[in-house]
Every structure is written in structure tokens, then in C-alpha cells.
Chains A and B, each alone.
Chain A
């Protein structure tokens, strides 16, 4: 191993530079004579001084310390770290998409508007919904937008008694956060012994004070809720609406539609399901789709087609308003559009089938060593819990995941969902070959054996990475986020 890369300030040498300026054509005077008004800083900026080649090498080496889907397997549960086909980038780099301005007259950007319009239509079809807004910039932003739409819908019927949103205990953490941010009180619904929503508990709390239920299906355990019809009946009969969190939509494309399951509003994560890059904090895109009764509340603008030209429609009667500057994360939409067009309906269906097949194959390869809290076929992801390993060796999920780094794969999601002790949540996605699935399964099995033969080595893992086990508590309590001279 090369060891830790020094900071750019640490390789700096006074006087070393990466530029050579042409001879001065004006009279040389002290800078203060050109800028006499006190604009000049008193102390030097202390920028690092390095040669061009050292600068390039430094940042290239730093870039090599990253892990990403283009480097290796990345089975991060509920994040859908599938391979992003490079044709998406090609399409998003077409000058017709990159060289336009948000304020350009509509007649000059008809191609861009057509792409947005068609993407809205495709997403509506995949969702089983009637109308789509591409505005929200990410999944949680889509959730918040959707919950505001639910609120606006109830308010338009003069129904102000609905102050609660129901959320299963297996939900993504963003669900309760979105509910609270939209001004609702959230009520948690427990899971049943099959890993689905506890119908009796739902039945008990669903009343005229409840605005709606947020559900992910398949849920974070990777399990499809078999009672979805019953659930939607209970919620709808008492005046509530159903929100579908599309984070796990990679399991159902072309096979099951949230609209058909009875959902009224949903978001998709284009950066998960529709193969646009993510993982570094963005950019994401979380379009919201609704049934026609909710269409009057969508955020503006929506792209429409009048038979001759495409236009941005701001005339949505009960709109909740704008949720994003301009028109959402445009180039992310282009990439998702390219993905949908290159796969087509059959290709999308195949992608979901392979995602589910890969997850089930992987699951069955490791259950001899890792315990399965709900013994069912999974969808696109699954959750296991190393209960035996923990009890018999004292090694935890954290140790196993850190050790996986030594095998060159990104660890799965850890300690989530919270309803499973020591959860390891694995989402292999459809783009992995049997070879890479086998490599990962073999690694997990080898680590399980290491837990018995050498638990101490697991506690101290990782051993081959640039930095070893980090002090996570220290990082949370006393974060040092910025370099300062003399640190």
C-alpha cells in the first residue's frame, strides 16, 4: 500500500509554481497603487505552491482512493448502486441539452421540452399514474412534495382534521422526516411476523385524523407486502391517501405498478431505478407522479404538449407552488430518458427480474452462515442478521462490513432497518454477473469463518485500506471538517 496521501499543503514548497507569465506591458508599480482603496488583503493567502505535474498526480491519486460502481461491487441496500451505462452520459452531453439556458424562449428549446414531456409520460406509464412533475431534486424532496400534495388535497375539501401520517417501522428514515417537515404528526405502524404491515394495528389507528400512509413496496426488508390491497382499502375507506416511496422501485419495473396497487402519489428516484450516477450527495432527481384527482395540486411548471408545440405550463389551478428553481435537475432527466429509451419496456422488465433473481441467488448462498429474520423469497434486496456469529464469536455487523473492505467490495447497508438487530441489507442489482455475486458470497462466507478462527482480526479490520478502523464516535463528536495551518 502506498499509505496516506499527503495534503496539497504538505507537498507545497515556497517558490515552486505551475505558470509562467508573459513580460509585463505596463509600468510596474506596487499593487496598492492600482488598488488604493483598502481592497488588498493584509496577510498573504498562503495558497499551496506546487508544480503542475505534482498537482495532477496528487488529485489523480486522491481520485483513485474512491470506491464506485465503476471500480467494484457496491451492494448498498436500498440505494440501487447499479452500473450506469455510459451511453447516458453521451446523450446528456449532446449540445442541444448542454448549450441551452433556462430562460431561452420555448420555441428554441422544443427538443429539451419534448424530452421532458416524454419522460413524464414514460414515468406515468411505469407508475400506473396519470400525471408527473419532474421538479423535485431528490427522493426525500419528492416525498416532501408528495406529502404537501396530500395536505393540499385534504385542505381543498375543507378537511383540516387530518393531522397525522402513518409510517411503518420498516420505512426509510426520510419518510417520518418528510411527514414532520410537512407539518404532520407521524404515527409508527409495527410490522407483522411476515415482515409486512401489521393490518390489525393499521386498522386500529386509521381514522379521520389520518391524512395518509407512506409505504415502500417492496419494503426495506426487500419483501413485497402481500396485503397491499387490504391496506389500501383500510386507508381509502376512511378518507386517507397512500404515498408510495419509490426508493425500491427497481424490483417492480414493468411487473407491478404502484397505481394499480392503489397508491395515489409517489416519487421515483431517477438516480437509483433509472441509472443516473449518485452516491456523492447528488445530483439526484425525484419526480412525483399522481392520480388524476391530485393533478391540480402538482408543483409548477409541468411540461405540456398542445398538439403542435411543447410548453411549460404554470397554470395548475391548486398548485402547491414551486419546489425547485427552474425545471428540476435537467441533465439527470436526460440520463434517465436515455436509459428508458435504450432498454424499452421489455428491457426494464428484464432489469427488474434480474435484480430479483440476483438478490435471491445471493441470499440462498449465504444463509448457512447468516441468519434470515423473515424466511421468504426476497425482491431486489434482502436483510440478514449475523445472530449466530455475534453470539458465538462476539463479532458484529460492523466488524464483518469493515472486513469486506479488505476483499475490495463496498459493504452493504448496516444497522438498517432498525427492526432487525445487527441488520446487513444487501442489494446486488441486476447489473452484476454471477461471478461477482459468487465473489461476494465467498467473501461473506470466508469472513464468517474468520470470525470463529480469528475474531480479533475482524475487530481490527480493515487491514489493507489506506486508513484503518476509524474513530466514528470521535468523528461524530469532534468533527474536524477543514484543514487549518498548524493543525
Chain B
């Protein structure tokens, strides 16, 4: 299983893709594989202030319901409406079309606490912990 090198990752299997001051949040390829067929994604409200570590979305698969924890703090500026009708985008293209929401990053320093691709690959290969 591969993960893009330009993303940062959390232990709880969310990723963040930073583009300027904006960051796209989603769940990793590992997470979608663990969850199985995803049938529902709860999107946050645009304008909501989220703190790092807070639940920003809930993803439901045929196996389980799973909370998604924000890798960074910031204000939600955009949500991916496409996943409402096609939640399987999270399975098909988790790091691309299957993003969940975008935030305006409030503290770029928080990025330093996240894993780079090498650290995350190792984490996932070891089973990914109990999340």
C-alpha cells in the first residue's frame, strides 16, 4: 500500500495536504482499507473552528462507525459535497477525490507534530495501533 510523499499523517490515520494557507483533510488509504466499503460520511459545517485532535467527521462503513480526528487546528472553509452522494470516493481515491474538508490553517507549527510518509508507512506496516 502506498502513500503520497507530499502529505502529513496522524497516528489515527488521517492525512493533511497543505496548499498555501489551506489544508485538505481526509482519511488514509490504510484507514479506508481497514474500514471496508464506506457508506456514509458526516461533513463538518463550513465556518466551524476545529482544534487539532477534535473530531471533524464521522465515517461509516459496513463494518464500523469511525471518528476522524483533525490533524491541525483551523476554520472549515470548504467541504467535499461529492462524498455525500458517493462515499465510496473515500475507498477509491482517499488521498485525492475522497478528501473530506478543507481548513484555513491557524497554526502551521502543528504540522511539525505530524508524521511524514516514511514514519507513517512504518506505523501502518506495524498494524497501525488500535484506532
Q: A419-B130, A421-B127 are in contact. Are A473 and B34 (CB under 8 A)?
A: no
CA distance A419 to B130 in the complex (A): 6
A419 proximity list for chain B (CB < 8 A): 130
User: Taking the complex as formed, is B87 at the interface, i.e. its CB lies under 8 A from any CB of chain A?
Assistant: yes
| Nearest CB of B to A447, in Å | 19
B64 touches A476 (CB 8 A): no
Number of interface residues of A (CB under 8 A): 10
| Nearest CB of A to B117, in Å | 22
Chain A-chain B contacts (Cβ-Cβ < 8 Å), number: 24
B63 touches A476 (CB 8 A): no
A473 touches B37 (CB 8 A): yes
Per-position binary interface string of chain B over residues 7-48, scored 1 when its CB falls under 8 Å from any chain A CB and 0 otherwise: 000000000000000000000000000101111100000000
User: Taking the complex as formed, is B62 at the interface, i.e. its CB lies under 8 A from any CB of chain A?
Assistant: yes
Q: A418-B64, A419-B130 are in contact. Are A398 and B36 (CB under 8 A)?
A: yes
A415 touches B64 (CB 8 A): yes
A2 proximity list for chain B (CB < 8 A): none
| Nearest CB of B to A406, in Å | 20
B63 touches A477 (CB 8 A): no
User: Taking the complex as formed, is A25 at the interface, i.e. its CB lies under 8 A from any CB of chain B?
Assistant: no
Size category, B interface: 10 to 19
| Nearest CB of A to B8, in Å | 24
Per-position binary interface string of chain A over residues 471-487, scored 1 when its CB falls under 8 Å from any chain B CB and 0 otherwise: 01100110000000000
A473 proximity list for chain B (CB < 8 A): 37-39, 62, 88
CA distance A473 to B127 in the complex (A): 25
B127 touches A476 (CB 8 A): no
Per-position binary interface string of chain B over residues 115-130, scored 1 when its CB falls under 8 Å from any chain A CB and 0 otherwise: 0000000000001001
A421 proximity list for chain B (CB < 8 A): 34, 127, 130
Interface residues of A in 343-373 (CB under 8 A from B): none
A398 proximity list for chain B (CB < 8 A): 36, 63
Per-position binary interface string of chain A over residues 257-285, scored 1 when its CB falls under 8 Å from any chain B CB and 0 otherwise: 00000000000000000000000000000
Q: A415-B64, A477-B87 are in contact. Are A472 and B37 (CB under 8 A)?
A: yes
CA distance A85 to B127 in the complex (A): 45
| Nearest CB of B to A221, in Å | 13
B60 proximity list for chain A (CB < 8 A): 476
CA distance A421 to B130 in the complex (A): 8
CA distance A418 to B129 in the complex (A): 12
Per-position binary interface string of chain A over residues 389-420, scored 1 when its CB falls under 8 Å from any chain B CB and 0 otherwise: 00000000010000000000000001100110
CA distance A476 to B39 in the complex (A): 6
A476 touches B62 (CB 8 A): yes
A472 touches B130 (CB 8 A): no
- Quick one: which of A415, A418, A477 has the most chain B CB within 10 A? A477
B40 proximity list for chain A (CB < 8 A): 476-477
Minimum CB distance partner of B38 in chain A: A473
Per-position binary interface string of chain B over residues 59-73, scored 1 when its CB falls under 8 Å from any chain A CB and 0 otherwise: 010111000000000
Q: A472-B37, A476-B40 are in contact. Are A415 and B88 (CB under 8 A)?
A: no
| Nearest CB of A to B1, in Å | 12
CA distance A95 to B103 in the complex (A): 67
Pairs A-B, 4 closest by C-beta atoms: A473-B37, A476-B39, A472-B62, A415-B63
- Chosen A-B contacts, 24 in total, with CB atoms closer than 8 Å, are A398-B36, A398-B63, A414-B63, A415-B63, A415-B64, A418-B64, A419-B130, A421-B34, A421-B127, A421-B130, A472-B37, A472-B62, A473-B37, A473-B38, A473-B39, A473-B62, A473-B88, A476-B39, A476-B40, A476-B60, A476-B62, A477-B39, A477-B40, A477-B87
Residues of B within 8 A of A (CB): 34, 36-40, 60, 62-64, 87-88, 127, 130
Residues of A within 8 A of B (CB): 398, 414-415, 418-419, 421, 472-473, 476-477
Q: A398-B36, A477-B40 known; 13 other A-B pairs, CB under 8 Å? A: A398-B63, A414-B63, A415-B64, A421-B34, A472-B37, A472-B62, A473-B37, A473-B39, A473-B88, A476-B40, A476-B62, A477-B39, A477-B87
